[in-house]
Structure 1
């Protein structure tokens, strides 16, 4: 009988010691809250990894994002590491927390992917609308050299008398290659209005080996309708030697009543897809 009593006492003592040992330290999040923290951190790390793949110079922004997530739960990096180490020292508790965090992360990933899908659909819709407003129907890319027999200034003429537009935006990327001797290349656009007046706009091109975007807005400050647009993609002294690339030429009109706001929102930086959870 005495032996049995001693055995019961030892078992109870062991259980009490175990409960005391596994009790969360003061100030530590409970299992449910820590599972939420882990799911947020894992999600953030996945996003940061994708950001780094797309842009190697993003580390500073990514780290700020990571610390913002910890601050959301009133945690510093040091305190978070301490909590993780404690849970890792108690694997049975940690396993429950980890399983719960994975379930939460799956839900967050599904929600994120729905958001990404919605943004991608919106981007595609806007891209198609923008393409429909692009009145440039010639080649979108040119390579110019002295061997070319066509007018190396790349003249153009667009009849836009049937279009009800508030303004037009012409843009292209220019790159002047080795051997080019052009001193003052310009993009020149002339707008002919319904009252027979004329506007001439020029953009001084950057004479550089680096591909650089040039852009001009036409018709912004006039209520008159534009009937015709003429100009030169690269106006220069034709006696000069020129070697250049012109890429991604666009001539987009802005409707008078336009709720698209195509250029007011930048979706390109928001194009992250999370990896699958294993």
Structure 2
């Protein structure tokens, strides 16, 4: 538990014993709203502490943080004080409220640490997708999202993108798919498929991700399509959006210059990349 939280609880405890025992009117915030507001206040306290705002001078503006919280919950400072007084009268219940506050803050801290770790991992990992990273169809025409990437690193390969399909779209069976490929002069090309992933038509951005471990170093390419379909007709309406495209293997770091250059030669083209068969 951080120091600010300890001081706050201690202050409230003193207030609890000094407050009037008279029956109070119902507060403006119900218990759930009051709990959420306490969480926001502690987050603001943490932000000010982290930025060393607790000091004299022109940067000392805690009201800047607190006023936005008062506006969010549509209460005045005096009304918030009344809420504190009301809920503090019941010691056992107030303790439960603060248990929820502490639990929520701990969860937020854990999520923050995980997000920082993932961001660092992403920063240190090569994105094998080298074409444009944000497409709006039909604004950008009817692009193809085939890819054929030379690979040799072991590990788990991930293909991911944020996609939404709009109501007027006529794409049949839209899906994300990929497979590892190798040439076999005796039996023909060999493939190890990822599990294809159906893309929903609900106009909502969702992150679609497929993963598979590299089977062995005899496979030379990662092949696939971020947005494949089954339409027989050449002309049909498509309205969808794709962004945040990532194809990566955590084992491949930015210092892998040789394979990065090889990928660049194959992927910097905007032309259709045919399937290998």
TM-score (norm 1): 0.47
Structure number with bigger Rg = 1
Task: Return the structure number with greater helix share.
Answer: 1
